[in-house]
Amino acid sequence: MAKKVGVAILGLGVVGGGTYQTLVDHHDFYLKTQKVDLTVEAVLDKAEARLDALGVPEDLRAKSIDEVLANPNVDIVVETIGGVGVAKVFVTAALRNGKTVVTSNKELICKHSHELEDIAKRNGCGLYYEASCVGGVPIIRTLLDGVQANKINKMMGIVNGTTNYILTKMAGEGADYAETLKEAQRLGYAEFDPTNDVEGFDSTYKLSILSSMAFHTKVPYTKIFREGISGIATEDIAYGKELGYTLKLLAIGKNTEKGIEVRVHPTFIPTAHPLASVNDAYNAVYLCGDAVDDIMLYGRGAGALPTASAVVSDVIYAATHTEIKYSTFKNTANAERNVKFVSNFASAYYIRLSVQDKAGVLAKLTGVFARNGISIVEIEQKGKKEVGENGEVRVPLIIVTHQTHENSVKNAVAKLGETDMAKVEAVIRVEQ
């Protein structure tokens, strides 16, 4: 006999609407394949137009969170509202009422999972959030139930579709950042205020969640180095391509002997790397385990049905498993005291300079790098000479370094800033 499980959906936007549609359309399929009778028992959303558009019956339209939680037929509450305001209040109330929660809210999980998980434990219910990271790609389930035999020592991911779309278009069409962003907004890939995506906050929240799970220790988002793509110039993407690199906004986590290294920033990777071929709004996560070696998961990182796929997979998991799984680490607001984080991380660097076209400048320039312990792999003049208003001639110079340290590059850049011989136009990290 099939197990009957009632679901309530809070928020009927893109993801909530996709979740409702999936649960209704696939009801018989889940009954047959999963032996679970999943029914939508309540939907909470103030926008009547959205409810009407999806054909939500009047008797399922709840007027308040209290009405949802008082419904004895609701076993699982799905939250797709977003943010950490109302969503946190509603999720907290659901857990305190013993309702298992499934959420797609990465900011909520990133910032408050320690509080919410504690409430869930005390009330004997579950907290699931596969859809919070990388849309329809089952990365969290993979970390929990697929590669748990491994010590994960490295992960790199393209975890934000908006920035990947923008960088793909800039690379393919040669358009500048501002122009490409406007197109992304017009097509619905970017929000009216794109800051959360283009400045790397979204990727930072996701890396906090994923690295905590991968490394089995709390990695607060405040420990993650963050840099967005708003300063990326088209010429750097083109020059990188000539050097054999592709530019991506990467979320990078490494578990090293020196400590945990977590960073989000534009990164040049070799064009032959599997992540380099992940284009447009697609996402991918590349994992390296001590036993399995390399794995890459790839797919749509956003959208109504891809994200709903992740939400419903958690609903089915919760409905079909009596044993509740919580974090495999001590889930607290801050990292444990004995955990070290590496801020002066090692990387190779691409540096574009505008330098004076004078004898001896190159020697002085390389001297600054040498005094900061930076070894140069190659140095090339790119583009045309530029003549300033004062008649000074400058040439664009591209430098690619051997692996060095972040602080060494910052010190060298600061030193160059004290002189007139070179102006630093771009610094982009390179992952070999």
Q: Which residues belong to the active site?
A: 206
SS3 per-residue string spanning the chain:
CCEEEEEEEECCCHHHHHHHHHHHHCHHHHHHHCCEEEEEEEEECCCHHHHHHCCCCHHHECCCHHHHHHCCCCCEEEECCCCCCHHHHHHHHHHHCCCEEEECCHHHHHHHHHHHHHHHHHCCCCEECHHHCCCCCCHHHHHHHCCCCCCEEEEEEECCHHHHHHHHHHHHHCCCHHHHHHHHHHCCCCCCCCHHHHCCHHHHHHHHHHHHHHHCCCCCHHHCEECCCCCCCHHHHHHHHHCCEEEEEEEEEEEECCEEEEEEEEEEEECCCHHHHCCCCEEEEEEEECCCEEEEEEEECCCHHHHHHHHHHHHHHHHHCCCCCCCCCCCCCCCCCCCCECCCCEEEEEEEEEEECCCCHHHHHHHHHHHCCCCEEEEEECCCCEECCCCCEEEEEEEEECCEEHHHHHHHHHHHHCCCCEEEEEEEEECC
Decide if 93 contacts 120 (C-beta within 8 A): no
Bridge partners for 423 per DSSP: 354
Give the total residue count for the chain. 432
Closest CA to 263 of 353, 346, 331: 346
Contact indicator for 166, 141 with CB cutoff of 8 Å: no
Residue 306 has, within 13 A of its CA and on its CB side, a CA count of 17
